[in-house]
Amino acid sequence: MPAFGIGAPFSRLAALAAGGRLPQSLLLTGPSGAPTVEAAIALSAIVNSIDQDLESEATRVLHQRILHSDAAAQAGGAAGEWTGPAAGPYPDVRLLRPERGKPIRVDEIREAIAGTRTHPFEGRRRVLVIEAADTMNPPAANALLKTLEEPHPWLGLILCAQSEAALLPTIVSRCQRWRFAAPTTPEVAARLRDEHDYAPEEAAVAAAAARGDLQRALALPRDRLLPLAEEAERIAAVVGKGIPPPARTKLTERFTRAAPRGRKSGQLDELATVLVLLRATLRDLAALRSGGAALSGDAGRLQKIAELAPERAFAEALLLVEQADRDMYRSYGNKRMQFDALLLAFNEIARPIVVARRRGERAK
């Protein structure tokens, strides 16, 4: 497995860090799911490790300490005490993570930069990692640019973004750029099994639903993952056989009764989870109908559902689910009405399929 479980081009960056040649300002870009922040944290550990050896015990322990410090910061100190070597959170690495769905503000940038103005306490560099740097508003970007133009010699800046297009050209030009790819579904499944003790079926379902995004896979409620995946399969079957009004009402009530307004936490609620799993299921069903293979779920169950409808029906349903997800969570819509409307739309897809099937059965 690659160092820290991170694929290319991390190995080249790690070699630069181990040799003391890591550029002072980096821009790591990649699509959703690309391990840019993971790479930034690992590089911070290598740079500040006693021996700068990416495979040493000292680097591994420091990496875990940085991760624990970040988790404690995100949880408001509720992540428990650090029980490894050294005391307290690691002081020389700071991760700036924006609130979900909100831009990075100028006061957040200024506060983060203020913490880098003194020499490192323990390591060689003070490292500031900025997640979703492409969401900075203009004042925040201008405040960061001043630091990039005249950084302290002990400062390391690592910007992580999906695309450099949304960043100021003057920021991009002052950073060495590295592009990361999102991991494949099998790679995410392997990490879930190896690093997070997922059972093989759990890992396959979560990885397929997350589409190459490890953090999204971990946000799925693990204790309900497999039962909800089966629920998603039953909902997908509506595309091929329809659903009567009483069952539709019951299903709508089941998933929207306790759904929160918006999507505020890192852990997905059951409605959000079933929508994620439903997308994955519909992709698998469309793939099976076109002669491809499913990435997750029980192959036998999926094959039976796939036989209920043609590929275009599952593809159309997938587009409807993606639109429903946007409407429910990004526009703060009425989830009950929108989920019910989604099932009604599935019924409309199923109507001609069911009529044709019944005609064929009568003709026999």
Q: How far apart are CA 297 and CA 281, in angstroms?
A: 8
Tell me: the pLDDT tens digits for 137-168? 999 999 999 999 989 999 999 999 998 999 99
Tell me: the pLDDT tens digits for 60-101? 889 888 888 888 777 665 445 545 555 567 899 999 998 877
pLDDT, position 223: 87
pLDDT, position 222: 87
Q: Which has the higher per-residue pLDDT, 333 or 195?
A: 195
- A 10 A CB-CB count for 210 gives 25
pLDDT, position 214: 82
For 127: left if phi > 0, alpha if psi spans -120 to 50, otherwise beta; the answer is: beta
pLDDT, position 135: 93
Q: Return phi, psi of residue 307, to 5°.
A: -75, -10
Mean pLDDT of 237-247: 94
Contacts of residue 250, Cβ cutoff 8 Å, sequence gap at least 6: none
End-to-end CA separation in angstroms for the chain:
56
pTM above 0.95, yes or no: no
> Binning pLDDT at 50, 70 and 90, where does residue 329 land?
low
Radius of gyration of the chain (CA): 24
CATH code for the domain defined by 220-363: 1.20.272
**Which of 79-83, 210-214, 315-319, 348-352 is least confident?**
79-83
The length of the chain in residues reads: 364
pLDDT, position 83: 53
Q: How far apart are CA 270 and CA 250, in angstroms?
A: 15
- Delimiting residues of CATH 1.20.272 domain(s) in the chain: 220-363
pLDDT, position 265: 42
Domain covering 3-179: architecture: 3-Layer(aba) Sandwich (3.40)
Tell me the CA distances in angstroms from 297 to 119, 207, 229, 231, 310, one per residue in order: 52, 11, 8, 11, 19
**Which of 4-8, 30-34, 233-237, 270-274 is least confident?**
4-8
pLDDT value at 267 more than 50: no
Helices 299-306, 270-289: inter-axial angle, 10-degree rounding: 70
- Delimiting residues of CATH 3.40.50.300 domain(s) in the chain: 3-179
Helices 311-329, 270-289: inter-axial angle, 10-degree rounding: 160
Q: To the nearest whole percent, how much of the chain has pLDDT over 70? A: 91
pLDDT, position 49: 92
Mean pLDDT value across the chain: 87
Q: How far apart are CA 297 and CA 270, in angstroms?
A: 18
Residue 9 preceded by cis peptide, ω within 30: yes
Contacts of residue 101, Cβ cutoff 8 Å, sequence gap at least 6: 263
**Tokens encoding 40:** 């930034």
pLDDT, position 263: 46
**Tokens encoding 309:** 């409808």
Q: Which has the higher per-residue pLDDT, 277 or 298?
A: 277
